[in-house]
Structure 1
Amino acid sequence: MAGSRMKLELSRVVQGRSRLGVLRGLGRTGQHSLEVPGCLLYTHFGTVPHLTQDTLHTLSNLPSVTQVTLSNIAEHQEVLEEFKDGFRKFAGLHDTVLYCSLHDPATFCPTGYTTNKTVSVWGSGGRIELTVAKFMALQKTVQPDWYQSMADGETWQNNTSRKRVRKSVDRTLTHLDECLLVHQKSQELEGVEVFGVVEGGDILEERLRSAKETAKRPVAGFCLDGLQTGTMDQALRTQLITAVTKELPEDKPRLLQGVGRPDEVLACVEAGVDLFESFFPFQVTERGCALCFSFDVSPDPERAGRAPPAVLELDEERDTAGETQQNGGLNLDDQTQMTSFEINLKDKRYQDDFRPLVDGCGCYCCKNHQRAYLHHLLVTNELLAGVLLMIHNTAHYHSFFDALREALANDKLDLLKRRVLREKVTSF
């Protein structure tokens, strides 16, 4: 563990907090890298929802790290143990770095089931209780390249008492120490990296204590937990993340769990976050919606390798969708509510709309199909609707991260924020 291969090389730090760089030394052999700020590839049991591996690889700007979750994998432990060759080979995932997290960020996780010794994950068959021993046995079976340590993350509800938050930080540190102990003695996990989890609910002192203590351990990076969309006001989240990142070493990555909306991504990058989970395109797809927000900051959109700007449509539909989001309302429905960054293709207005989802988008869906066709597929419940929407939403979201890195490199972050948040922007 002492000689962690994973290394964050920063090329710029903008306004003291936003970090631009490359995370190098990923994977058992260390040959992979990931640009930051960046995101991971979200999967269900190793597969991007709605997409086959072939379809997925029609997309050009995919991240090198694939996220799998124990909530999907735990119930298949026996099958994987019998297989013996790890999850990557089992799922046919070639040439990717495997990151294993505890929970699925797109799925609501019931609370009230942690104890001093256990945490619970929820698979299709219901609740699975994990001790550190069972958690680590799963990691040995999955054989990821990096994983988050076991953590008590049940303090994201606003009314959690200070005593309960303190207990969550204590338990999480204890779990981390126990995981590291097993990890260091395990041959199967040689060369595998561990991310420590920073908890602390909405209590600043506990967040700082969790960060400082976790940073003392031999971890390769940090997961910031309990700050999910819909659980906390954006201003408070930014304040907590800014304080926490000051306590974390500069050369180790910070991964934020459960936050995916573009406006929130921008705020969290400004607070010092490096990595995100890309579950947001999946949620948008499940709503029958298409991501349709502008993020172009380059003077020459026709330049090689980048799609021209997304056409910005200030239709009423997107404006009304935005109203439910801007108030930072603290309900869990935020995860399922339509946002101002998408258009609802089930809406009748699209039945005679023969434009692509986003003008200038280079994805397969936008090049070959029109909004009217997507509307038809959705109202007739055709499976192809999910496939085409997931292709576009994944491509659009990852292009947003490309634009974010470009904006940081060229001092255009403020312009990007105006584009994404639609300030001072007129409709086409």
Structure 2
Amino acid sequence: MMKLTISAVTGRARLGVITSLGQTGEKTLEVPGCLLYTRTASAPHLTHDTLQSIAGIPPVTHVSLSTLAEHQEVLEEYKDGIGKFAGLSDTLLYCSITDPVTPNPPGYNTNKTVSVWGSGGRLELTPQKFITLQSALKVDWIQCLSDGEVMAEGGSRKRAKKSVDRSLAFLDECLKLMSENEALKQKVVIGAIEGGDLQEERLRSAQETAKRPVSGFLLDGFQGSSASPEAKLNLISAVTAELPEDKPRFINGIGRPDEVMDCIERGVDVFDSSFPYEVTERGCALCFTHQYQPDPETAGENQRPVFDKEELSNGEKNEESSEDPEIDRSNITSYEICLKEKRFREDFGPLLPGCTCYCCRHHSRAYVHHLLTSKELLAGILLMVHNFQQYFSFFRSVREAMSAGKFHDLKQKIRRRSS
């Protein structure tokens, strides 16, 4: 069983470590922290060897049931679980119901089943089917079956109540079935907190789930919330206040650095790392400073503006970067630069000055721009290496800032990038 030890609290933000992980109990996960995001149990764009070149890889890997459920027969025949099958035997595995990048379409869950979508279409999961799947997957942490689609349906009071009732019923049934299964009875169960945007139902879900023998809690559905950012954060605060202090709180689909800081400030401990993948898919590189106390000798280069605003003041370059019809700017955040832009054709500097990742040490912005415009697969590999390492480093900086009593200083620095 996992054990959470809190070493410092800043407001509601918690600094600590989750221990007693894995078969031997020797692995640990520092919090606030993130998990290694995968698709079909493989780090996007990366082989096992290239993944190992990245510094700071989290000790827990995130897989999703929606991408793996259709492979149940293969895994049952293989018998040794998805970890060994995918070459992830040296890490712990956390299995969520859905992939945070591609949530399931709404309107298909019932009182008896939860639907997930894989490459082959829709699969309906009963609690018994869910337990059979988990027996084949052999992961370490299991998000319990839950009805988390209320957000996409508009969040009516009746629908929110139904999502909580269904999720609690699924939780009770799955816990009962797991207690009768020798292979699963010792697994870590993460209970999902549902209820849409309604605080009354969210609190009921939190209170009732906390009564069950779960080892942690997933604040589900916030990535699809139609509520305002302030209302969403107030709801997260209200929910975490109802949860036990000695168990970790997870959230999926919240990855932008300023949103991560807001959630940490309200008591969330563990995040997924799908955000670097989304940035990579846009042809972008994470390019923001997250050092709360930079080294004076390198401060000048490490704090290079995220968007190179000095460069964009030049009319010609600004025109080149803003009028390229092939670039979709709707989802590009202020924490990244789009290397598809023509202004990077002759930029021979690293993606981020001061970054020690393989890409920044060996290649330039101009080279990655060339790979992107040529549609070479190497572009995704190099961007994924950089974006993962930068993101993992960001969480390390958060923990260091909290340890030094500088959390709010770092939050202000991160917040300035989004304004």
TM-score category of the 2 structures, normalised to the smaller one: over 0.9
CA distance in 1, matches of 2:230, 2:305: 26
Q: Does 1:422 align with 2:416?
A: yes
Structure 1 residues 309, 317: closer, same or farther in 2, change over 3 A?
A: closer
Q: Does 1:8 align with 2:4?
A: yes
Counterpart for residue 380 of structure 1: 374
CA distance in 2, matches of 1:423, 1:292: 10
CA distance in 2, matches of 1:424, 1:155: 29
Counterpart for residue 322 of structure 2: none
Map Cα deviations across residues 264-323 of structure 1 (whole Å, 9 max, x no partner): 0000000100000100000000000000111111343779xxxx835333445999xxxx
Counterpart for residue 355 of structure 1: 349
Counterpart for residue 194 of structure 1: 189
Matches within 5 A, 1:298-337: 298-300=293-295, 309=302, 311-315=304-308, 337=331
Counterpart for residue 224 of structure 1: 219
User: In the alignment, is the contact (CA less than 8 A) between 2:167 and 2:194 conserved in 1?
Assistant: yes
Q: Does 1:254 align with 2:249?
A: yes
Counterpart for residue 321 of structure 2: none
Moved more, 108-117 or 230-239: 230-239
Counterpart for residue 160 of structure 1: 155
CA distance in 2, matches of 1:172, 1:318: 52
Please state how far the C-alpha of 1:244 moved relative to its aligned partner: 0.6
CA distance in 2, matches of 1:310, 1:9: 34
Counterpart for residue 358 of structure 2: 364
Structure 1 residues 97, 301: closer, same or farther in 2, change over 3 A?
A: farther
Q: Say which of 318, 335, 343 aligns to 1:341.
A: 335
Counterpart for residue 322 of structure 1: none
Q: Say which of 20, 23, 33 aligns to 2:18.
A: 23
Matches within 5 A, 1:14-413: 14-15=10-11, 17-157=12-152, 159-228=154-223, 231-300=226-295, 309=302, 311-315=304-308, 337-413=331-407
Map Cα deviations across residues 117-145 of structure 1 (whole Å, 9 max, x no partner): 00111111111111111111001110111
CA distance in 2, matches of 1:236, 1:424: 19
Structure 1 residues 224, 411: closer, same or farther in 2, change over 3 A?
A: same
The one-letter code of the counterpart of 2:113 is T
CA distance in 2, matches of 1:424, 1:98: 32
Which runs of 5 or more structure 2 residues have no equivalent in the other structure? 313-327
> How big is the alpha-carbon RMSD for the aligned residues of Structure 1 and Structure 2?
2.2
The one-letter code of the counterpart of 1:410 is A
Please state how far the C-alpha of 1:31 moved relative to its aligned partner: 1.6
Structure 1 residues 422, 83: closer, same or farther in 2, change over 3 A?
A: same
Structure 1 residues 278, 145: closer, same or farther in 2, change over 3 A?
A: same
Please state how far the C-alpha of 1:421 moved relative to its aligned partner: 2.1
CA distance in 2, matches of 1:246, 1:336: 35
Structure 1 residues 231, 336: closer, same or farther in 2, change over 3 A?
A: farther
CA distance in 1, matches of 2:283, 2:239: 37
Map Cα deviations across residues 244-280 of structure 1 (whole Å, 9 max, x no partner): 1111000000001211111100000001000001000
Please state how far the C-alpha of 1:422 moved relative to its aligned partner: 2.3
Please state how far the C-alpha of 1:343 moved relative to its aligned partner: 0.5
Structure 1 residues 317, 68: closer, same or farther in 2, change over 3 A?
A: farther
Structure 1 residues 317, 273: closer, same or farther in 2, change over 3 A?
A: farther
Structure 1 residues 35, 234: closer, same or farther in 2, change over 3 A?
A: same
The one-letter code of the counterpart of 2:395 is F
CA distance in 2, matches of 1:413, 1:255: 20
User: In the alignment, is the contact (CA less than 8 A) between 1:158 and 1:231 conserved in 2?
Assistant: no
CA distance in 2, matches of 1:92, 1:313: 36
CA distance in 2, matches of 1:389, 1:172: 38
The one-letter code of the counterpart of 1:33 is T
Structure 1 residues 336, 124: closer, same or farther in 2, change over 3 A?
A: farther
Which runs of 5 or more structure 1 residues have no equivalent in the other structure? 320-333
Map Cα deviations across residues 312-361 of structure 1 (whole Å, 9 max, x no partner): 33445999xxxxxxxxxxxxxx9971111110000000001111000000
CA distance in 1, matches of 2:113, 2:51: 36
Map Cα deviations across residues 205-226 of structure 1 (whole Å, 9 max, x no partner): 0000000000000000000001
Secondary structure of 1:422's counterpart equals helix
The one-letter code of the counterpart of 1:343 is I
CA distance in 1, matches of 2:329, 2:8: 32
TM-score (norm 1): 0.90
Matched residue count = 403
Structure 1 residues 354, 87: closer, same or farther in 2, change over 3 A?
A: same
CA distance in 2, matches of 1:310, 1:149: 43
Please state how far the C-alpha of 1:74 moved relative to its aligned partner: 0.4
TM-score (norm 2): 0.92
Counterpart for residue 330 of structure 1: none
